[in-house]
Chain A
């Protein structure tokens, strides 16, 4: 399955809504194992996406993902800004000439996260959501359960990257806030895909 411009725009807009609706929940998750501001930061990025779309409505896929990336890079800050920014920027570059299968697109995003964060799965980061979803898409069985399972596994992990890594064993039992915001991104995608 490929996502065309209209559907992709709907995807990003739904993501923005979910971030705004769950700002406090993301802050709470981040208070447990970080510094308590992931919701506030992502909300700032979400508003920046809306502002950018209002200023110039993207008329192709590459532009849509690039605008999303720039809004995140310039407004989110912290680790989430460059991570989401890199994922969407790499996705933007990948669809410049031809649209890609969603599974390939998400895989490119996931690879971008690995590069920017010098990290991989099982370190209790966003990658624990992006990678299993890219894999599930490739296998044609991406659904809400994929997201739930990814979050459950992430919750049980000990963080070895990012600020939560200082907590070592104490980071167990909490969902990584970046993984939760990524879960919203993919729940928005599910809605758009009509799954």
Chain B
């Protein structure tokens, strides 16, 4: 394993320190935590419902990169691929509550759900109003009562963008939670891996794929997918993913947003090639794509791979996706 790090134990605090020190005008670190909160003047001028997200580290720029005017109020970073702890989440909630309550955006993993739940109980004991939405956009996982349910992956960035825009416009906590849930229900993602991620504390890739193999349906923590196949041209990958995802939408009318997301080790060049193929595929199906985004938004350390997210989005949501924000990474 070759990584630009010091001590494996200090990866997260050192990363957060670097992130905050290079973006002082945008974010500050909450003392004694690895949580960051908005540090811009508008944060205190324009009072709104707080929006807090967080999760394990290794998915940068998610979530700290999306803290700022128009997106998240605070983000809590856990250890690599490990949920943050309730005390840290609780500190972030307290730092952003401006009297209108706080919405928690949680990705659907048992650890995240439990830790955010404990933090919610702590904050409610302080009479802070809390609502939680759980993102579960990964349709490669069967949603049955016999599993944890679908995972939260790249669609989380789009959810944070829409919810963040609505919160800035002054939407109240209950409506924000309803909107968030509605967005989640209309956001679907599948990922593919060319090479697994190496968790620094483990030191080797989470799984092995042969040089000419790819795996469909992987998660963002090296969770295995649903099929291993030979690598194909980008347009065939785009065809496979668009077909699978669009199958999940019963009503294919209306407008859509797409996110082509790099997993951390895949060049932007390849991401644009794939995005081009996705748009071709969508137009051949006469599906109206009104918003597109490409980039490393929700990564999985050094994983080589890509994910495609498709969101069925009405004109209001498209507008909210397009609105400018002041963050490190959107």
Contacts and interface: CB of A to CB of B under 8 A. Distances in A.
Interface of A: 27, 31, 35-37, 40-41, 44, 73-83, 85-86, 116-117, 160-163, 165-168, 170
A76 B118 CA distance: 14
**Pairs of residues from A and B, 4 with the lowest C-beta to C-beta distance, nearest first:** A79-B111, A165-B147, A78-B111, A82-B114
Contacts of A85: 118
A31 B201 contact: no
A167 B223 CA distance: 9
Given A31-B206, A36-B199, A165 B118 contact: no
Contacts of B82: 35, 37, 41, 77-78
A31 B206 CA distance: 7
B274 to A, nearest CB: 25
A167 B217 CA distance: 12
A36 B222 contact: yes
A166 B151 contact: yes
A37 B85 contact: no
Contacts of B86: 73, 82
A86 B201 CA distance: 26
Contacts of B80: 37
A75 B85 contact: yes
B206 to A, nearest CB: 6
A29 B91 CA distance: 33
B79 A35 contact: no
Contacts of A36: 81, 199, 201-202, 206, 222
B118 A73 contact: yes
B293 interface: no
Given A37-B81, A77-B78, A78-B82, A165 B146 contact: yes
Nearest to B222: A35
30 contacts: A35-B81, A35-B199, A35-B206, A35-B221, A35-B223, A36-B201, A36-B206, A37-B199, A40-B79, A40-B201, A75-B85, A77-B78, A77-B111, A79-B111, A81-B115, A82-B114, A82-B118, A83-B114, A86-B118, A116-B117, A117-B110, A161-B110, A162-B110, A163-B110, A163-B148, A165-B146, A166-B141, A166-B148, A168-B146, A170-B224
A126 B80 CA distance: 22
Contact of A161 (B9, B78, B141, B148): B148
B223 A77 contact: no
Nearest to A158: B146
Instruction: Name which of B79, B111, B118, B219 has the most chain A CB atoms within 10 A of its CB.
Output: B111
B149 to A, nearest CB: 9
Interface of B: 9, 56, 78-87, 109-111, 114-115, 117-118, 141-142, 146-148, 151, 199, 201-202, 206, 219, 221-224
A80 B109 CA distance: 12
A160 B147 contact: yes
A78 B107 CA distance: 12
Given A116-B114, A160-B147, A162-B110, A167 B224 contact: yes
A158 to B, nearest CB: 8
A78 B83 contact: yes
A35 B109 CA distance: 12
B88 to A, nearest CB: 8
Chain B, interface SS category: loop
Instruction: Name which of A165, A166, A167 has the most chain B CB atoms within 10 A of its CB.
Output: A166
Contacts of A83: 114
Contacts of A117: 110, 114
B79 A77 contact: yes
B223 A163 contact: yes
Contact of B147 (A35, A41, A76, A168): A168
Nearest to B220: A35
Contacts of B201: 27, 36-37, 40
A99 to B, nearest CB: 27
Instruction: Name which of A78, A80, A83, A86 has the most chain B CB atoms within 10 A of its CB.
Output: A78
Contacts of B141: 166
A41 B222 CA distance: 17
A41 B202 CA distance: 12
Nearest to A23: B201
A35 B82 CA distance: 9
A113 B77 CA distance: 25
B151 A79 contact: no
Instruction: Name which of A82, A85, A86, A116 has the most chain B CB atoms within 10 A of its CB.
Output: A82
A90 to B, nearest CB: 13
Nearest to B140: A166
A89 to B, nearest CB: 10
Contact of A77 (B83, B147, B151, B219): B83
Contacts of B56: 77-78
Contacts of B114: 79, 82-83, 116-117
A162 B113 CA distance: 10
